[in-house]
Structure 1
Amino acid sequence: MGAAPVTDPAPATGPVPVMRPAPVMDVMGLPAEPRPGPGTPDGPVGHAVGSTPPVGSDPVSATPIGSTRVSSAPVGSMSPPRDSVPPYEEGQEPEGYTPTQRDLPVIKRGDTLQAPVAPAPAAAAREPEGLGPLFVVGDVHGYLDELIDALHAKGLIDADGNWSAGNARLWFLGDFTDRGPDGIGVIDLVMRLSAEAAAAGGYCKALMGNHELLLIGARRFGDTPVNSGAGTATFQAAWLLNGGQKADMDRLQDHHLQWMSRLDAMEQEDDHLLVHSDTTAYLDYGDSIEAVNDTVRETLTRNDADECWDLFRKFTKRFAFRDESGPRAARELLSVYGGSRIVHGHSPIPYLLGEVGSEDGDDSQGPVVDGPHVYADGLAIAMDGGVTMAGKLLVQQLPLND
């Protein structure tokens, strides 16, 4: 599998500027993280192993990635450089698809609609026998501090990071790790909130993203060759090329792997079909939500490297609902699995709009993401706000008022 070597993000080290090289493109069309320059500590700035910061405190190269450095600066004051890469010009995307090829074409602005989303009120407890309000969270990618801030702003957690939304319902759309500094911290938070929400009469649940499959594969299969459809590949190489963080792999434990392996691939809530990826590849795994979820779990249980790679490859497909054929594809998925709208993550809204973020994470230069993105004749809602490219980590109450 031929590709440029992967590099790590330069850590935030206070006022000392760090020169970063031009981004190396990864197999998903997002750049590999730049390696720290001479004289700077290796690896992303993270939290101490096993710790969770308090709320409001604010794949081809085998080159070893540096270990995590514990910083004394306030949590939330530092974030690693975020992704930036110009997407394909329209019509230049490859006909076939494989995770070893770049795949980020652009939706024209005229084909999409940015939904005006009024700020949602804080989640309020309802009658115990009733269903609470429904919230969804887009891709987090290891940005724990941004997630804590976003959940707190919606009233879903309190100042101490504990569930405070009563019987509200919260769904994460997948991709908890890679690229950002604390993917394991994100998983730990979601697992804890799941228990706290259940005790309060609500729930916090999560879907399987392609990066969960990638992390599981990297741990299980490592450098075992798989047939990628475009030559020989390995999960380890793909994980490194797509922002895999050594600190996450070092802290990954069996209970994290078991939790990820049991995640559903799709679900329906309040007439919304919730999935991670904007793809129709789910149809390859069953003709009902239950069948798809069972097939995905069975595939992971069989522990066959080629089967797991094919699952990862299909979950990494994107942009099925774009352009003129998008509404038809969305209707096909909805007709099989139910619901009136698809809610997905995976494809960053800035790419759907033909925008890119700032390479150095300067928010003033990053893309403007005001909220979820509605397109495909109103049949699809994109929830990945592009947090890895200085966009926004989206937490949104449904339904939208559009």
Structure 2
Amino acid sequence: MSSTLRPLVIPLLVPLLLAAAPPQAAPAARRLEDAVPDTFTGVERVVAVGDVHGDVEALKEVLRLAKLIDDKGRWSGGKAHLVQTGDIPDRGERTREAFELLMRLEREALAAGGRVHALLGNHEVMNMLGDLRYVAPGELASFADQSPEPDASGTPRGLKGHRVAYGPQGRYGQWLRAHPAVVRVNDTLFVHGGVAPAVPAKTLAELNHWVRQDLFPGNPPGGAKDAQGPLWFRGYALGQEEDEARALDTVLQRFGAKRMVMGHTTDRDGKIRTRFGGKAVFIDTGLSTGYGRHLAALELRDGHVTALYANGRVELVAPAPAVAPAGKVSP
């Protein structure tokens, strides 16, 4: 073949080779036995944000407040870890946008040496299991393009697409089923509702497996629907201090932590609240517009536990002072 013909042949072959290539396989469905990372150590800065309920603009604003994203919505938090404690969907109409934002930030944070942990809340599970009591009409309609088939006559727009999207192989169902209900970052447990002492688990891996049993067919009942499971339990937020203090100490000791950070129970004054000498921290301040749009995030850094608000910072728990050796006076 002459050298003058060779350059013409290559461009002709490329599309033929691409056409002959096998189609790209769809991502494999998640399985119950898949590993779900649950423990992270050596993290310098952790920021936690509570329930979103479909308000992506409020989520963006609080992430900018915490200096985790820039003006264009890109990750700017470096090696920080963001923990979102569940309840992204329901009640607001822009749930999909909030999912997409966190999915993208997961990748960007990981590339920068940080992490985004989007935990399961009870409303994620309700949507995955077909409980649509709190799905706003516009929120449901936004999923219409996720199904190749149109909705049946007389049914709400987006019903079929929602079922596909949250299913085991759906875009958001697959993503959610890859996430834990509880993580420990440094010395802090993060969970949507709370970890009760009665949970049938001695490790976080066992606890997350128990929750995930409800999300995959063919398993015995698990902790995602259990009223005392970590997505629903409100004992530390609402229970009697004396009784719940002992329960909390038992759980913290079992899982090797010194505090627990929870969403789920909304504090209507818009402030982050602590109980039990700072061992329990409640961060559902009503972030979404439907709950008053109270912007707040929790920061854990250098032993300090700090609430971040639009009008400033409030230190909630300071590190314990160092104890001077016997016979010496600390400066």
Of the candidates 217, 223, 232, which is equivalent to residue 302 of structure 1? 217
Distance 1:336 1:311 in 2: 20
The 3 A distance-change label for structure 1 pair 307 and 381 is closer
Distance 1:331 1:177 in 2: 31
Distance 1:326 1:193 in 2: 36
| Residue 273 (structure 2) aligns with | 373
CA contact (8 A) 1:207 1:264 kept: yes
SS at match of 2:277: coil
Distance 2:212 2:259 in 1: 25
Distance 1:345 1:157 in 2: 22
Distance 1:317 1:162 in 2: 34
SS at match of 1:331: helix
CA contact (8 A) 1:262 1:297 kept: no
Instruction: Give a deviation string over 1:77-133, Cα, whole Å, max 9, x none.
Output: xxxxxxxxxxxxxxxxxxxxxxxxxxxxxxxxxxxxxxxxxxxxxxxxxxxxx7441
SS at match of 2:92: coil
| Residue 26 (structure 1) aligns with | none
* Structure 1 position 207 matched with structure 2 position 119: yes
Of the candidates 186, 190, 204, which is equivalent to residue 274 of structure 1? 190
CA contact (8 A) 2:236 2:280 kept: no
Instruction: Give a deviation string over 1:356-402, Cα, whole Å, max 9, x none.
Output: xxxxxxxxxxxx32x42111332200000023321514322114133
SS at match of 1:329: helix
| Residue 230 (structure 1) aligns with | none
SS at match of 1:267: strand
* Structure 1 position 323 matched with structure 2 position 235: no
**Cα displacement (A) at 1:307:** 5.2
**Cα displacement (A) at 1:308:** 7.5
Distance 2:295 2:194 in 1: 18
Of the candidates 233, 241, 251, which is equivalent to residue 333 of structure 1? 251
Larger radius of gyration: 2
| Residue 155 (structure 2) aligns with | none
The 3 A distance-change label for structure 1 pair 259 and 327 is same
The 3 A distance-change label for structure 1 pair 249 and 185 is same
**Cα displacement (A) at 1:138:** 0.7
* Structure 1 position 384 matched with structure 2 position 284: yes
Distance 1:273 1:181 in 2: 30
SS at match of 1:326: helix
**Cα displacement (A) at 1:162:** 0.5
CA contact (8 A) 2:90 2:134 kept: no
Of the candidates 128, 133, 154, which is equivalent to residue 240 of structure 1? 133
Distance 1:146 1:299 in 2: 30
Please give the TM-score of this superposition, normalised by the length of structure 1: 0.54
The 3 A distance-change label for structure 1 pair 303 and 187 is farther
Matches within 5 A, 1:124-273: 131-218=43-130, 235=131, 239-241=132-134, 245-247=139-141, 249-250=143-144, 252=162, 253=165, 254-273=170-189
Please give the TM-score of this superposition, normalised by the length of structure 2: 0.65
Instruction: Give a deviation string over 1:293-313, Cα, whole Å, max 9, x none.
Output: 123234422356965873477
The 3 A distance-change label for structure 1 pair 191 and 378 is same
CA RMSD across the alignment: 2.5
The 3 A distance-change label for structure 1 pair 308 and 215 is farther
**Cα displacement (A) at 1:187:** 0.9
**Cα displacement (A) at 1:191:** 0.6
**Cα displacement (A) at 1:249:** 4.7
Distance 1:157 1:136 in 2: 14
Which shows bigger deviation, 330-339 or 299-308?
A: 299-308
| Residue 346 (structure 1) aligns with | 264
Pick 1 or 2: higher relative contact order, CA cutoff 8 A, min separation 6.
1
Distance 2:195 2:142 in 1: 27
Instruction: Give a deviation string over 1:306-345, Cα, whole Å, max 9, x none.
Output: 6587347743232335323221221122121121111000
Which shows bigger deviation, 246-255 or 205-214?
A: 246-255
Distance 1:248 1:312 in 2: 30
SS at match of 2:299: strand
Q: Extract unaligned runs of 5+ from structure 1.
A: 1-129, 219-234, 351-367
Letter of the 1:203 partner, please give it.
R
| Residue 38 (structure 2) aligns with | none
Residue identity (%): 29
